[in-house]
Amino acid sequence: MNKEIQQIINDQIQSELQSAYDYLAMSAYFEEQSLGGFAHWMKKQWEEETEHAMKFYHHLLARNEHVELKALKQPESSFTSPLDIFRKALGQEQKITVLIHDMYERAIEDKDYPLQQLLNWFIEEQVEEEDSTRRIIDQLEMIGDSRSGLFLLDKEMGER
């Protein structure tokens, strides 16, 4: 494996874990606001992002490469609304999508077929991630300031 690709994968592990950490902070905010359904949804995102990091982690190890875990930043912890949080979550997912696409282009250039195979799964996953987050943003925008609408959506989020 090309050493630059190895570094890119290690950077991606950090990005996925940072996303997980950010989602956990968002979950804590929702818990503090008594929005348990939204908190549950964000905890599921935390779990998924952690799983994503581990896919890259295991990919490196399976190819006899070095895993280098990097420091994470303290996540943001003050938010203005559920809509604010989901807009930030969408931005986060879009950033991860760009990183995955860039890595895929690099894997093609280097003819790294095992990495291309792994990244095919991630490309599909990112389409789903962005779509589900965007749909929640749409619903929150429809609800506006309706407390009862927020209550119902919170209940729905808890069923994920």
pLDDT digits (tens, 9 = 90+) for 74-131: 999 889 999 999 999 999 999 999 999 999 999 999 999 999 999 999 999 999 999 9
CA-nearest of 93, 124, 103 to 56 is 103
**Residue 124: which residues within 8 A CB-CB, separation 6 or more?**
none
In 3-state terms, what secondary structure has residue 78?
coil
Q: How confident is the model at residue 160 (pLDDT cuts 50, 70, 90)?
A: confident
CA distances from 43 to 48, 77, 120, 145, 158 (A): 9, 15, 25, 25, 10
- Per-residue pLDDT band at 146 (split at 50, 70, 90): very high
What's residue 3's pLDDT?
94
The predicted-structure confidence for 10-46, as pLDDT tens digits, reads as follows 999 999 999 999 999 999 999 999 999 999 999 999 9
Q: Strand, coil or helix: what is 115?
A: helix
CA dist., res. 85 & res. 131, Å (int): 16
**Contact call for residues 89 and 26 (beta carbons, < 8 A):** yes
Picking from 97, 123, 79, the residue whose alpha carbon sits closest to that of residue 19 is 97
Claim: this prediction has a pTM higher than 0.85 = yes
